[in-house]
Amino acid sequence: MDALRFTEDHEWLRLESHGTVTVSITTFAQQQLGDLVFVDLTAVVMSFVAGDEAAVVESVKTAGKIKMPIEGTIVRVNETLRDQPSAANEDPPGVGWLFRISLADPSSLDSLMTEGSYASFVS
């Protein structure tokens, strides 16, 4: 698998060495939203199917729902974002990630866009 996968809802996913997947919003989504001022994260150890609402982000421009990109269980949320939502804008792959999931089916990542196909999608 490539390092990152992307969804049409402008989320990126990164498979971690310990088998979980880290999820956050893409740079494109951040540019559309503007500076985040609030992040509402779901509870840990909740299972979702793809498309379920997993978080809400609010910015100076608008609010947006973050959908679960693939079926799985949220095993960790980024508590830093509750007090510092702007961290998602400042360092998305570092301290700005939203949540980590344990996949119901690891092969489901194969159906998501690669970095190149996402770049074409947003252009």
pTM of whole model > 0.85? yes
Q: What is the mean pLDDT of the segment spanning 27-40? A: 89
- CATH, residue 41: 2.40.50.100
Q: What is the mean pLDDT of the segment spanning 113-121? A: 96
Please give the Cα distance from 75 to 94 (Å, whole number): 18
Query: How confident is residue 92, by pLDDT bands cut at 50, 70 and 90?
Result: confident
Residues forming beta bridges with residue 100, ordered by sequence position: 22, 76
Q: What is the mean pLDDT of the segment spanning 77-95? A: 88
Number of domains observed in the structure of the chain = 1
Residue 46 falls inside a structural domain: yes
Residue 121 falls inside a structural domain: no
Domain membership of residue 97 as a residue range: 4-104
* Confidence (pLDDT) at 2: 53
In this predicted structure, the answer to whether residue 1 has a pLDDT above a threshold of 50 is no
Q: What is the mean pLDDT of the segment spanning 5-33? A: 90
Supply angle C-alpha 81, 35, 52, rounded to 5: 60
